Structure 1
Amino acid sequence: MEDDWLIRSLIHEILEMEGFEVVTAETGDDAWHWLCETLGGADLLLSDIHLPGGLNGIGLANRVQAHWPRIPVILSSGGKGQQILESGYAPLFIPKPWHSQDIGTICRRAIALATPRQ
């Protein structure tokens, strides 16, 4: 999830080239609906903090953690993104700008450290 469609497309392409099966959503609400329809059918959530629509990245991360704690969440943002993370559940955070070569490695590590599906 990324609020900028061009960056979202680039991330999608990078992760597919890294061997990931990628599902993208335009808004936090869209991502949440997809997760509900697939009963948490993701191995990882990568999202910007600032998203269009009603549900931002932090709200989405909190919902995912509450319903499917086995799904690792990585949030990203430029500027003061990390400073607005709420106390309590703290997802992994990647400050922008990040290098495109690092994103696949970061995602693989997050998945490897996650709680296995039950």
Structure 2
Amino acid sequence: MTVLSTVLVVEDDWLIRSLIHEILETEGFEVFTAETGDDAWDWLCETSGGADLILSDIHMPGGLSGIGLANRVQAHWPRIPVILSSGGRGQQILESGYAPLFIPKPWHSQDIGTICRRALALAINRE
């Protein structure tokens, strides 16, 4: 199977993280995961922005939220699209400035691959 793109999934809930990993891998993506925004940032720095796309929860333990991660990624690697996801008030707390893509939870598992492919296509068209 040909790998479509590399996706970094950032999610503190092990079950959700594992589910997204499995779905995206089945759809042909190379998938890396991180439990926190800090872990994701460390991985990105170690790989020189080695992801083609980031899918992150907004609310996570540690110092770096999904919004903070998205802002750092935009400042260092603006070519990498970021999709943020959250339940409840997630979209209302997005700060002004860089606005990553947002999908509310709960999402349907069949939609994750489509959402990632669309975000990658938008990023390519933006270049």
Q: What SS does the aligned partner of 2:28 have?
A: coil
**Distance in 1 between the 2:124 and 2:25 partners?**
23
Tell me which residue corresponds to 2:5: none
The aligned counterpart of 2:6 is: none
Give the counterpart of 1:40 among 44, 49, 52: 49
**Matched length:** 117
Q: Percent identical across equivalent pairs?
A: 89
CA RMSD in angstroms comes to: 1.3
1:69 corresponds in structure 2 to: 78
Instruction: Give how far 1:85 is off.
Output: 0.3
- Equivalent residue in structure 1 for 2:106, among 80, 97, 106: 97
Query: Is structure 2 residue 16 aligned with structure 1 residue 7?
Result: yes
Q: Please point out which of 93, 108, 111 is paired with 1:84.
A: 93
Structure 2 runs not aligned, ≥5 long:
1-9
1:115 shift after superposition: 4.3
Distance 1:97 1:66 in 2: 29
- Runs of 4+ with >2 A deviation: none
Residue 3 of structure 2 is matched in structure 1 by none
1-structure distance, mates of 2:124, 2:50: 14
Q: Measure the CA separation in 1 of the matches of 2:32 and 2:61.
A: 17
